């Protein structure tokens, strides 16, 4: 379904910072090409650290993170991190410019990305003229314009209201199905994790380890009404129970 996705294997991955803090691991996990996985766990358990190791932004202290292929990777942070002096179109093309793409390549890609996130027609607007949800759409457009094989998301929807968050979840899911990337999302929102994912990884308190991996059986595309179903409530309850389970039970 997602031909551009890349598989990733984590083997004994751990992270100890220079101050002696053991933040993570060891972690063993295989991310299948083209799937969407969410990581949930208590604050400070190393979720974002794990995401940065997968991205190659920081190195592991032990173990290894292997990719099945070298692919373009894009990272979406909790803050949209837009440049206020650049309009929508110029913000959306920023990463492609930095990677040396020429205008004949980035212009059609940026136009497509803005269309996919619902910002076509806003190309000349500036960040201060956009709502919080629109700014996050722009951040997503900037990432998917790269056409990544791997998209890593560190709580990108945490700062928006609940109604906007639901809509953006639906749009993100549609983007994943259309664009073909492998997706990894860090979130504190259990409902978000279940709605978006093929699997949900539940992590322990620091140093973060994997307590459970819960399969999400719902077929894609997922209707918004799924969130109100008894089966959805049962599965979110299962994830919540896993989060509350004693680490060494």
Which domains occur in the chain, in start order?
Answer: 1-72+153-249 (3.40.50.300), 74-147 (no CATH)
Distance CA 46, CA 16 (A): 11
Terminal CA-CA length for the chain: 38
**pLDDT score, position 246:** 65
**Phi, psi angles (nearest 5°) of residue 232:** -65, -45
Spatial contact of 39 and 50, defined as CB atoms under 8 Å apart = yes
* Predicted local distance difference test score (pLDDT) of residue 2: 44
Predicted local confidence at residue 81, as pLDDT: 87
Look at strands 150-154 and 73-76 and give their pairing.
Answer: parallel
Reading the chain (249 residues) residue by residue, the pLDDT tens digits are: 344 678 899 999 999 988 888 889 899 999 999 999 999 999 888 899 999 999 888 989 999 998 877 778 899 888 888 999 999 999 999 999 998 999 999 999 999 999 988 899 999 999 999 998 899 889 999 998 998 889 999 988 887 888 888 988 998 998 899 888 999 999 999 999 999 999 999 999 988 999 999 999 999 999 999 999 999 999 999 999 999 876 544
Q: What is the pLDDT of residue 203?
A: 94
The H or E element containing residue 240 is helix 230-244
* pLDDT at 248 (0 to 100): 46
Query: In whole angstroms, what is the distance from residue 53 CA to residue 20 CA?
Result: 18
Note the pTM of the prediction, 2 decimals: 0.89
């Amino acid at each position: 379904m997602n031909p551009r996705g890349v598989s990733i294997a984590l083997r004994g991955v751990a992270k100890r910072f220079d101050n002696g803090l053991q933040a993570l691991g060891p972690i063993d996990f295989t991310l299948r090409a083209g799937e969407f996985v969410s990581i949930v766990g208590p604050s400070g358990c190393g979720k974002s650290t794990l995401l940065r190791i997968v991205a190659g932004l920081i190195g592991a202290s032990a173990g290894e993170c292997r990719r099945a292929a070298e692919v373009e990777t894009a990272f979406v942070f909790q803050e949209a991190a837009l440049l206020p002096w650049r309009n929508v179109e110029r913000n959306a093309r920023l990463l492609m410019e930095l990677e040396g793409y020429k205008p004949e390549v980035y212009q059609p890609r940026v136009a497509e990305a803005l269309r996919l996130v619902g910002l076509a027609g806003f190309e000349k607007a500036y960040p201060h003229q956009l709502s919080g949800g629109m700014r996050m759409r722009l951040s997503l457009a900037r990432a998917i314009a790269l056409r990544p094989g791997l998209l890593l998301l560190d709580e990108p929807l945490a700062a928006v209201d609940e109604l906007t968050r639901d809509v953006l979840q639906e749009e993100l899911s549609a983007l994943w199905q259309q664009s073909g990337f492998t997706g990894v999302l860090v979130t504190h929102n259990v409902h978000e994790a279940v709605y978006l994912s093929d699997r949900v990884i539940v992590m322990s308190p620091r140093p973060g380890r994997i307590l459970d991996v819960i399969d999400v059986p719902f077929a894609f595309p997922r209707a918004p009404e799924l969130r109100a179903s008894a089966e959805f409530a049962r599965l979110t309850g299962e994830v919540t129970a896993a989060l509350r389970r004693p680490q060494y039970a």
